[in-house]
Amino acid sequence: MDIVLYYAPITCAMAPYITLTEANAKFEVKSLNLRKGQQNSPEFLKLNPKHKVPLLLIDGQILSESTAIQVWIARNFPQAKLLPSDPWQELKAIALHSWCSSGIHPFLARINSPPRVCDAPNSDDSVRRLAKEQLLENFKIADDLLAGREFFFDHFTAPDAHFFWCCRRATQFELDVSGFKNCTGHFQRMTKRPSVQKLLAFEKSVQEDFAKAA
Ligand SMILES: N[C@@H](CCC(=O)N[C@@H](CS)C(=O)NCC(=O)O)C(=O)O
């Protein structure tokens, strides 16, 4: 099977990189420089008119959207147990993943680019402040879900990888998550996983290559 992951540093495309690595999958990575707008190139738009990563090409077949991508990886590498094996728990994990990608992620995106959601003059600070309030509400929910647990389920699963990205991005935007001790504990545990270490080293090398090419 020929697997290609379209990826960009710092983005949520790090989550499928982590899970493919956890699954010991053989995959190729194509790195896009979003700062240079490579997601809007005619070649990439043919693959994903939504101009977003992650994108997976599986034997030439295109799959977009983080949740679907993670379900595909979990189904095709069952030994990695990237979703719980109990059907109800599996649905709960997919629900949790959807919440990360559609409930948390959009607030991170509007901090990154307020004008995408409001073009009223001088509204950036207000968009960011409101997004941060929503994020804090969501991190409180995650913190409660993680109480007394190492991961969201009995072992590492795909939503752990996506939530790791959410926490990292929030911290990069200087959202103070230090009060959410279960989230920060989860973040630290995730950082120690070999798959995450590999991702972080890969991200650094791609950023260095982009800097050299600039
Ligand atoms: N709903 C998509 C969102 C993906 C997404 O927003 N990706 C961002 C990076 S985190 C992106 O590629 N942005 C580039 C752009 O919007 O032009 C998913 O969950 O996969």
Average pLDDT over residues 13-28: 98
Confidence band of 60 (pLDDT split at 50, 70, 90): very high
Q: Which atom of ligand 1 is nearest to the CA of 39?
A: 17
3 state SS of 65: coil
The rounded mean pLDDT for the chain is: 97
Question: Given the CA of residue 37, which atom of ligand 1 is nearest to it?
Answer: 17
Pocket test for ligand 1, best of 34, 36, 44, 52 (most atoms within 8 A of CB): 52
Going by pLDDT thresholds of 50, 70 and 90, the confidence category of residue 111 is very high
Q: How confident is the model at residue 119 (pLDDT cuts 50, 70, 90)?
A: very high
List pLDDT tens digits, range 184-193: 999 999 999 9
pTM of the predicted model, to two decimals? Answer: 0.97
DSSP state of 118: -
79: left (phi over 0), alpha (psi -120 to 50) or beta: alpha
Residue 31, φ and ψ in degrees, nearest 5: -95, 130
| DSSP per-residue codes, 153-203 | SSS--HHHHHHHHHHHHHHHTT---TT-HHHHHHHHHHHHSHHHHHHHHHH
